[in-house]
Amino acid sequence: MKTLPKLVIFDMDGTMLDTEPVSLAGMIHAGKILGVEIKKEIGESLMGKSLKLGTEILRANYGETFDINQAYKLHREYMDDFFEKNGISTKAGIFELLDTLEKLQIKKCVATSTGKARATHKLTQTNLAHRFQTITGGDEVENGKPSPDIFLKAAESCGVAPQDCIILEDTEAGILGAVAANIPVIAIPDIAPLTQEIRAKAFAVCTDLHEVATILEDLGGLCPPNPLQTF
């Protein structure tokens, strides 16, 4: 990517919102109530994936008798209770990055595996919803991440061609979805580790959203390039 995109497509959980540790704890909690030990690695493997793929992962690991619908219900209740008591934390640099994009006159939208109503509620709680042109939820597409559907729908909702977009993602599923959509992706890994193979598919790998802002500022000529800085 040598020129500024016309649209930045944001993932939500783990990219803008610091919710993945709570999600992991919620799934482990649900497993305990249902008499199953859900290992950390399995919980992490669910992150960023559609409900359909998550169901397949849980079924493969815990068998046909495991009540997956109840597990997801308990998981949501755990998260809702936590956020009601503690609020939802945002990731470092999100507001500064949004300011930068607005300064550069770049459109912004959200493409999240979370259902649209729930996603909009979470983004409203964190004073982020109004900063985006559109919010596309996982319940609005037939195939969730790692399929490209949600990214292509998000781009279409803003009237921008895929080749003029860039995606920000934290999970393997999201990065693979971006690759399938043929849209450059910047990876900002969260608690679920990314393999070197997955990292290599990204245009850049950043430690936080401040670094993403720096990349875009450099492309937009808002700050001089630093030859010693790597991402």
Q: What is the pTM of this model?
A: 0.90
* Segment 166-181, tens digit of pLDDT: 999 999 999 999 999 9
Q: What is the pLDDT of residue 226?
A: 41
* Segment 66-93, tens digit of pLDDT: 999 999 999 999 999 999 999 999 999 9
Mean pLDDT of the residues in the chain: 93
Residue ranges of the alpha helices (H) in 3-148?
20-33, 40-45, 51-62, 68-86, 94-103, 116-125
3-class DSSP state for residue 79? helix
135 CB contacts (<8 Å, ≥6 apart)? 109, 110, 112, 116, 119, 120, 123, 129
* Segment 101-138, tens digit of pLDDT: 999 999 999 999 999 999 999 999 999 999 999 999 99
Q: What is the pLDDT of residue 169?
A: 98
Residue 35, H or E segment: none
Q: What's at 203, amino acid-wise?
A: F
138 CB contacts (<8 Å, ≥6 apart)? 50, 51, 112, 113, 114, 115, 144, 145, 150
